[in-house]
Amino acid sequence: MRILVISGQRGAGKSSLCRYIAEYAKARSIACYGCIETSLRGKNGVPYQIGLADLASGQTYLAAERPRDRTDVPFQFHTEAFAHIQASHEEFLHRTSASIQTSAPERFGQSHEKEICIIDEIGPLELERHLGHADFLKMVLDNRRCDVLVLTVRSSLQNALLAQLNENIPQYDVLIIEIDKKSRRAAQNAALSYIGLA
């Protein structure tokens, strides 16, 4: 399993790059699951409502909210949204495992189709409180099923994420892509090349 870490400030285009990867993969019939953040933003681009778009089902779940333009008020998180994403992943694994078991014998031994898992994003909730996507991330790292794991993280939390990854998977190939508004095209090209889609 290879790991692509997309790092940048809020509004840099991390989620947009994840969406681009997912659309590019699906257009080529490559399995892509996990989630991408959606958000409603107020003044200065500060989010007040965050949703999780499930790449497998197409459903979007409300994950966090607070009053608009009230950065002094902490987000209220909805744990059921994160549970839906993890359950969708488990269902995908079960469905594809069952499909492999019922395949014709001549298909065994063939190289499997590429699988991409996206978790957008890993933040303080996961790294400091071990909530949110923490269990989902652990599951993906433990089962080592996907070919490429795509993670997003704010620049300020990049080192904390890398330290956590190194504890679990020091033997894996990790690429960090720094993204900002000026480097989006270069980031797209680098991501597709690393994943093997270019």
Q: How confident is the model over 61-74, as a mean pLDDT?
A: 94
Give the model's confidence band at 168: pLDDT under 50 very low, under 70 low, under 90 confident, else very high: low
What phi, psi does 98 have (nearest 5°)? -65, -40
Beta-bridged to residue 5, according to DSSP, are 151, 176
pTM of the model: 0.90
CA-wise closest residue to 18 among 172, 149, 182? 149
Nearest-angstrom CA–CA distance, 57 and 89: 10
Give the model's confidence band at 3: pLDDT under 50 very low, under 70 low, under 90 confident, else very high: very high
Q: How confident is the model over 63-82, as a mean pLDDT?
A: 94
Q: How far from the centroid of its chain's Cα atoms is residue 46's Cα? A: 21
E strand segments, the chain: 2-8, 31-41, 47-54, 60-65, 76-77, 115-119, 148-154, 173-178
Q: How confident is the model over 100-113, as a mean pLDDT?
A: 48
Contact of 179 with 8, CB cutoff 8 Å: yes
2-195: CATH architecture: 3-Layer(aba) Sandwich (3.40)
pLDDT tens digit sequence for 131-152? 999 999 999 998 888 899 999 9
Nearest-angstrom CA–CA distance, 81 and 83: 5
Contact of 122 with 129, CB cutoff 8 Å: no
